Chains A and B, each alone.
Chain A
Amino acid sequence: MTTEMVRLIEPIIPALRRYARVLMRDRAAADDLVQDCLERAIGRWHQRRADGNTRAWIFTILHNLAMRRLRQASERIHIGLEDADEASLSLAASQEDRLRYRDLLAALAQLPEEQRTVLLLVTVEELSYADAARVLDIPIGTVMSRLSRARERLLKLTNAEAPTENSHPHLRRVK
């Protein structure tokens, strides 16, 4: 049983780290969360439906932990998200890409959490709409409408930030 568990879970760990990192915007906090998630997944392996989708199942655990952690964090102190270490998010290729990605992730951070999570689960983590609905515990129609809103809003934000030189906007702080 444990070999099957390892076989099914291990390949998902990089994706779990990625989802957690983008939500938490902090490497250590994200990996803590993934560790918690894996502990729970091990402990509850026998409770998962054998015919179920492991990826959706384990993302559900991670997502719920992340939401709880973020809520606790926002109750304690308001962490300035703009101050989060963006270098920990992307170490991508060229300088130009890096700047573009940084702007994109900053815009992503401005989306409401419910839109950000749908967008990430579908586009980055490649969950089906049905699995995303399961992870978020919402109807599939809600997934679709949040996804549309997320895309539209993110496009507006990034277009507003697009390098038209003089328009350096209210939307983000220039570091």
Chain B
Amino acid sequence: MSPRPITEDDLNGFVDRTLDAATHGEVTAYLETHPDVARRIAGYCEQRDSLRAAVAPIAEEPIPPELDLSRMLEERRRPRPPQRWAMAAAAVVLLCVGGAGGWALHGSPPEGIRLLAQEAQASYSVYAPDHAHPVELRAGERAQLAAWAAERLGRPVAIPDLAASGYRFMGGRIVPTIHGPAVLFMYDNDRGSRLVMLARPMAIDQNMPMLPQSQGGINGYAWADKGLGYSLVGAATPDTLHPLADEARRQLRNDAV
């Protein structure tokens, strides 16, 4: 019986010492008869040992007090003054959002599509960085999400497909705004960059051309068609987002027909 061929994965396993005894034996036998490969693998083993030794001292250092887990838990448990800090931070956020300073849409106080733009930005800030539950219904539950949105918004909202532009649909959820429920759709690309599209019925600004929005590194485009307002936002550049927003609007218009 001729021996099983040795794979690169076996060789990596040999270096990382994850092979079972039998495979280890096979690899050892192989290396004995293949000096070139053996030399390379010896280099990898030496590299592994050196790398571990080079950074080992970091893990030997005493843990600084701010990384003391028991202490962190203790501080969380205490009825804490940090709440004041948190409130101050919340106030700052409100000021930033309400200040409309950075938004390219001018005037104040915000209403209509400018308000929608801010709501989209706030939703992006909350949900896009969320690793555990960025969306409530996932892409596979598209139909349920559409039904949920239709029920809460009182009218159907199509879900734009941006896959051709490199953004996969992740799913979505209903989010609150001061004008009632809005639906959030989230997308991401291969590099983990996320986009949020927010849509809700508009009392004013029922039909609006596309307007750019930008604040705190979050850019986007907002528009309204036939009483539904949309805002597509993300951390990408306006140059990236504009064609995506155009594409979403094109699909939504086609869908509405």
Contact = CB atoms under 8 A, between A and B. Distances in A.
B60 interface: yes
B61 interface: yes
Nearest to A128: B18
A6 B224 CA distance: 51
B207 interface: no
Interface residues of A, number: 51
Contacts, number: 109
Q: Which 4 A-B pairs have the closest CB atoms?
A: A101-B54, A14-B59, A18-B58, A18-B59
14 contacts: A14-B58, A14-B59, A35-B66, A42-B73, A47-B133, A60-B131, A90-B54, A101-B54, A104-B51, A120-B51, A123-B15, A124-B52, A129-B18, A144-B12
A42 B51 CA distance: 31
Interface of B: 8-9, 12, 15-16, 18, 40, 43-44, 47-48, 50-61, 63-64, 66-67, 69-70, 72-73, 76, 129, 131-133, 192
Contact of A31 (B64, B72, B132): B64
Interface stretch (A77-85, A147-155, A163-171): A147-155
Contacts of A158: 47
Interface of A: 2, 5-6, 9-10, 13-15, 17-18, 21-22, 31, 34-35, 38-39, 42, 44, 47, 60-61, 64, 67-68, 89-92, 97, 100-101, 104-105, 108, 119-120, 122-124, 128-129, 144, 147-148, 151-152, 154-155, 158-159
Contact of A38 (B18, B44, B72): B72
Nearest to B58: A18
A148 B58 CA distance: 26
Contacts of B52: 123-124
